[in-house]
Amino acid sequence: TLFPVLVNINYLFGFVDFGYLDMTPFAFTLASVFMAIGVMRYRLFDIRPVAKETVFERLPDGVIITDDRGTVVDINPMACSMFGVECPKLIGLNFSDAFSDSETVLSFFNSDQSNSELKVGKAIIDARKTIIHSSRGKIRGHIILLTEITERKKVEDALRQSEERLALAVKGGNVGLWDFNIDKGEFSINERYYQIMGYPGGDLLITFQNWKEFVHPEDLLPSLEEMERCYNGEKDYFDIEYRMLSKSGDWIWVHDRGEAAERDKNGRATRILGTHIDISPTKQIEEALRESQEKYRKLATTDMLTGVMNRYSLSELLRAETERSRRYGSPLSLLMFDLDNLKMINDNYGHLAGDEALKITCSYVQSSIRNCDYLGRWGGDEFLLIVTNTDFDGAIKVAEKLRAGLCVKEHKNFGKLSISIGVSVLHKDESDFDALLRRVDKALYESKKNGKNRVTSFV
């Protein structure tokens, strides 16, 4: 780029005489050739700079770059997310000012450590600091790489605790031990192994062949496959859980961990050592936990009085059905109803009778709808019925059928029951169900206003 400038200066001041000929245009031509060579040589328009920027922005680890004065010159979104800050506001600030709320990060940055584990809130972060040197060896800044290792630390802690428990169990004689010498065909087990199976030591001789007879048929093949991988050298060890027949005839759950202690020149195991632990109580706890989780899931999604869906689960389902209807163009109708004269039932017969009336109503509606329709309690004595793949006319027929069917039944405690129903359908241009809810609520209000025990619809 200086070449045309120098040629033009020569033309103006006449350092080298070319007569009246201005060489500047020729200089530009020659300069453009050099510029083209430079662009192609240094790949100015290559995708690499864009790719590098994209990688930096999308790294799963946090990265902070500072200059030699401690000023933050760049930071990626993951690092901002770790500390709950906004990236643009940090760039240009001194590191001490940018991270003044995080004492652990400041201490690490100002220390001579190159690696440390930092606790930021509830997260544990592995921080690594690298010095940036210039081509002449001067310090130009630092790169701090941040990796969240919270889950890994939890796993490590759990593993360490498990190993400690295993060591204590073995020391206390509560872990079965086995030694399988494959070349000699010898299978040796300790007394605890026998006790787990319910046999006092010496009452039974277990070999590898008759061990297979004690394993549950459904667990035998998967267990042998895992052991085979260890034997062939595909894995250094195996971890298996399987059911084993005890002396009492009950199936007990055991956990076996085996590791190859010796291998031949081809890599095949010649001796495998392992532990044998009774995990039946753990399996029982897991089963109880699954049942408990299922119970609490039901509590979280079900109305406990009527047994139908509660408002939360109904809202989630309505949102999903609205999206499905919008995506595939299938009709979606909504019915809102409530029990007529519920207050009168409560006043005359008591609240238990009112609760019973709600249960009867929900039971009747639930038994009268399709499996692809969904009933839930919206609040108080108001209920929503999501009628999928059904147009406006079809929804009105469903509503009339429900209303008429409930009226004909007589209940000894409080006579006949009736419901008022509002009906509407999702419009094709609606992306959510808010307007649909307003229409169906208004329709229900009109049914109550005009004498109850009727169906009102709004398109």
Q: From CA 56, how far away is CA 77, in angstroms rounded?
A: 9
Contact, 453 vs 419, CB < 8 A? yes
What residues contact 329, with CB distance under 8 A and at least 6 apart? 428
Contact, 68 vs 139, CB < 8 A? yes
What residues contact 61, with CB distance under 8 A and at least 6 apart? 78, 145, 146, 147
Residue type, 401: K
Contact, 357 vs 342, CB < 8 A? yes
DSSP-derived secondary structure letter, 373: -
Q: Which of 236, 381, 393, 441 is catalytic?
A: 381
Contact, 152 vs 253, CB < 8 A? no
Q: From CA 392, how far away is CA 443, in angstroms rounded?
A: 13
DSSP-based three-state secondary structure for 374: strand
Q: From CA 308, how far away is CA 317, in angstroms rounded?
A: 13
Q: Among candidates 191, 220, 222, which has minimal Cα distance to 208?
A: 220
Q: Is 381 among the residues known to form the active site?
A: yes
Contact, 364 vs 307, CB < 8 A? no
State the catalytic residues: 381
